[in-house]
Amino acid sequence: MTTTKFTDLPLIAPLQFSLKEAGYETPTPIQLAAIPVILEGHDLLGIAQTGTGKTAAFSLPILQNLAKHTRKIEPKSPRALILTPTRELAIQIHENIEAYSKHLKMHHTVIFGGVGQNPQVKALQSGVDILVATPGRLLDLHNQKFLKLDRVEIFVLDEADRMLDMGFMQDIKKILPLLPQKRHNLFFSATMPHEIQTLANRILVNPKKVEVTPVSSTAEKVEQRVMFVEKPQKLDLLQQFAK
């Protein structure tokens, strides 16, 4: 069976150049499944864990779709919004987009809390195609009128289940009405608890579902054993193990 390469995917030359320079050869299962679906403009429900390559799975087709349908960027009004739960993940996604878009005329920035907002405000004022953001700082800058979300064409909600765990659901529910009703939606989560499924149903329109199960859910070198212990003895056993 022949292995599909990135060069076999219908990605434009500037993206292919960037992938070659970055040493990307073979797409991961999520990339192979998601990229064609997103390029065709379908809403996507992606079930995938961190480390499966999902950042490239959504970033590459977003860059291509924006490049093919150019629009003059406007101050404070991003064309694509990628919402993610932590500053570390936001920075990582932004760095990947920077690498993939080096042969495209594409403007992008990242905003997150815990740092001064002035450089972020300045970048937004200059206008961006793609904005990577954490929910709190996004709402904060929007409330200060440094950001408008009514021209967003593509909306990505990444790691939705972690958003739920970290208490961001109220922020997400405040952000959704700020977006235009007609938009391209991409939704990623490692698990689908009831509240996340409800949120996906609210956001997505006739989505294609892509599910990537991890090869192994536990580290191979970790030995696992089960000990059946009566409840009163559990603490004693734990103390013995700790010693």
Q: Where are the domains of the chain?
A: 6-242
Q: What is the CATH number that goes with domain 6-242?
A: 3.40.50.300
Q: Per-residue confidence of the chain (243 residues) as pLDDT tens digits?
A: 568 999 999 999 999 999 999 999 999 999 999 999 999 999 999 999 888 899 999 999 999 999 999 889 999 999 999 999 999 999 999 999 999 999 999 999 999 999 999 999 999 999 999 999 999 999 999 999 999 999 999 999 999 999 999 999 999 999 999 999 999 999 999 999 999 999 999 999 999 999 987 544 444 556 677 878 887 888 888 888 777
For 56, the 3-state DSSP assignment is helix
The continuous run of DSSP H or E covering 45 comes out as: strand 44-47
The whole-model pTM stands at: 0.86
Write the CB contacts of 160 (distance below 8 Å, at least 6 apart in sequence). Answer: 187, 188, 189, 196, 199, 200
Number of residues assigned to the chain: 243
The whole-angstrom separation of Cα 63 and Cα 51 is 21
